[in-house]
Amino acid sequence: MSNKVFDVDLLAFEGGNDAKRRSIVDGVMKSLETGFVYSAHDISQHFLDDVYGKLEDFFALTHNQKESAVADGTNGQRGYTGLLVETAAISDIPDWKEMLNWGQDTPTGHPLKKKYPHRYHDNLFPEDLVPGITQTLEKFHDEVLGIQLRFLRIIALGLGCNESFFDLCVPGGATLSRAIHYPDMHLAPSQSHVWAEEHGDINLITALPRSTARGLQIKTVNGWIDASPPEDHLIINTGIMLEHISNGIIPTGIHRVVADSEQEGDRLSIVQFCHPAPWTILSPLSSCVTPERPQKYAPITAADRLDQVLWEINLLEESRRVDESQL
């Protein structure tokens, strides 16, 4: 098992000959033994400056102003989620972070929206508080989703599938973009809190184009290591759904976000969780099941697996397993 996260070049894969493409596929699969890989990309750094600037403006607002962007009934999948709500599945202590969530709008009458009304919500952007944020965040969502779809073609080949395998199940999925603000740890209510406790994401892959401070750590067989991508590379990590369909060949990338004792100030990052359409049956691929690796996971729909995890991480509004008022 690898303990090293490799950096690869998505653009070189797309423009390379067969040998180059194969070497990048092999490098990605080796790196994903950690659940993580770094990749070059073609999202404009000037555009990312604009995205992060508008989000910094939002998180600098007062508590009451930010609360106006709460999207009730969306279980943390749209709008603003305040401090001390999301809680890692292994913990009863909420994370010291606040979030703004958004995705693609699904047309009224679309069969996915009719079948899964609790999964497809309208966006709620704080446009009146940060003018221009709506168009900027919608563009960010589309650009990062495009990158993730392109990167999933490398993973599909690594799993023995056709390169377009994920192209058929990801469009229409409940892919979520999330801006996460981690306030200064010196302001946390107790030393028991961390920015984000150890966890794995519930999706196929997650993309993180940039963060404003260190803190992301990756769990390996030899312990925790700092995520340290080359400049202008994004971080890709794997989720529970990809582990499921790969029959464990690609493990979930376990990670946490922590500030060291000498670290002051806050941290801002934006991640995008790439999901298949909720009616997708998550079942191990035949190419990943062998006599040496018998089938490990039973089939389950993507929608049901997501609901399981939303409860575990304390985002189901009607049944929070951890109540902030009792902390």
Which SS3 state, helix, strand or coil, does residue 294 take? coil
Contact assessment for residue 84 and residue 192, using Cβ atoms and an 8 Å cutoff: no
The partner residues of 267 in beta bridges, in order of sequence, read 182
Alpha helices (H) in 32-109, listed in sequence order = 45-59, 63-67
Look at residue 321 in the predicted model and tell me its pLDDT. Answer: 45
Q: Which strand (E) or helix (H) includes residue 145?
A: helix 133-158
Whether 2 is in a domain gets the answer no
How far is 9 from 7, CA to CA, in rounded Å?
A: 7
Look at residue 118 in the predicted model and tell me its pLDDT. Answer: 78
Look at residue 307 in the predicted model and tell me its pLDDT. Answer: 83
Tell me how many domains the chain contains: 1
Q: Decide if pLDDT at 1 tops 60.
A: no
Look at residue 110 in the predicted model and tell me its pLDDT. Answer: 82
How far is 324 from 320, CA to CA, in rounded Å?
A: 9
pLDDT in tens, 169-212: 998 888 999 999 999 998 888 888 899 999 999 999 999 999 99
Which has the higher per-residue pLDDT, 315 or 23? 23
- Report the pLDDT averaged over residues 42-70: 97
Whether 1 is in a domain gets the answer no
Highest mean pLDDT among 73-77, 105-109, 194-198: 194-198
pLDDT in tens, 150-174: 999 999 999 999 999 999 899 888 8
Residues spanned by the domain of 225: 7-326
Specify the pairing of strand 7-9 against strand 36-40. parallel
Whether 209 is in a domain gets the answer yes
Look at residue 86 in the predicted model and tell me its pLDDT. Answer: 81
Q: Which CATH number fits the domain that encloses residue 204?
A: 2.60.120.330
Whether 34 is in a domain gets the answer yes
Whether 172 is in a domain gets the answer yes
Task: Work out whether the CA dihedral 251, 84, 223, 32 comes out positive or negative.
Answer: positive
